[in-house]
Amino acid sequence: MDIDLTGRRALVSGSSQGIGLAIATELARSGASVVVNGRGQQKTEQAAAEIRREVPDAEVTAVAADLASGAGADELFAKVDELDILVNNLGIFGAKPVLEIDDDEWRRYFEVNVLSAVRLIRHYLPTMMERGFGRVMNIASDSAVVTPLEMVHYGVTKTALLAVTRGFAKAAAGTGVTVNSVMAGPTHTPGVEEFVGELVGDDLPWDEAQRQFMKEHRPYSLIQRLIEPPEIGNMVVYLSSTQASATTGGAIRVDGGYIDSILP
């Protein structure tokens, strides 16, 4: 399938590293003009430069803004007025016993993982609907369905994101705009490497640590390995295309078969 996103403008929140950077890179590789976002200017500029090295003819803009707050979102809106493609990737995670998670921590997770997406959709969706084209994707997780004991607060926010997706998809019904969740499974990023180290010990060689993590903490994965970020980026590219025009309101899985159910 030949997917050409030339002429489309895309924003990927939280794209200075990891999954977000991979998504932004794959969108640029497919011809989209990409806005890279992170909290710090230097790191965001470095991410944009990395995409340009990977995709020499890429059109990339770096916008530093903390989208976990309304003020940070307003900074972004002042610099990026309209979009064709919005990817809400910004998110935080971490292991913590559920009985030790206080109110402030719960609020922080909702601000970053849920409300950041709501703010951006609320701002950009109306103009997409007016123009008759738009693609919104919220990067969710297998944890939205299989609540992880070691990070219940993270799982709950990703569950909420599925409902956010479905609700906004209904709001955009019949306009030519699609809204979907991409449910990423256990993915190989620097942050996950640290997380794996916390759970199985940071003194093990990486290959062994990964195998032990998958066996003990993600045993239902059918591919029995961590997903590589570009594999998620490829799904986002497809959902951003005109070829995906009949897919909306869905929770699309890139989870390595981890979720042990037929639906979603």
Catalytic residue annotation: 154
Reading the block at residue 227, the tokens are 């997903």
Reading the block at residue 152, the tokens are 């219940």
- Residue 188 burial (C-beta neighbours within 10 Å; 0-12, 13-18, 19+): middle
Q: Give the number of other CB atoms < 10 A from CB of residue 95.
A: 13
Report d(CA 26, CA 141) in Å as an integer.
19
Exposure of 130 in the CB half-sphere (CA atoms within 13 A): 7
Which residue carries 């922080």 as its tokens? 108
Report d(CA 70, CA 80) in Å as an integer.
15
Q: Are strands 177-184 and 251-254 parallel, antiparallel or unpaired?
A: parallel
Sheet containing 85-88: order of strands = 60-64, 33-38, 9-12, 85-88, 134-141, 177-184, 251-254
Reading the block at residue 65, the tokens are 């803004």
Report d(CA 5, CA 83) in Å as an integer.
13
Reading the block at residue 83, the tokens are 């979009």
Reading the block at residue 95, the tokens are 């292991």
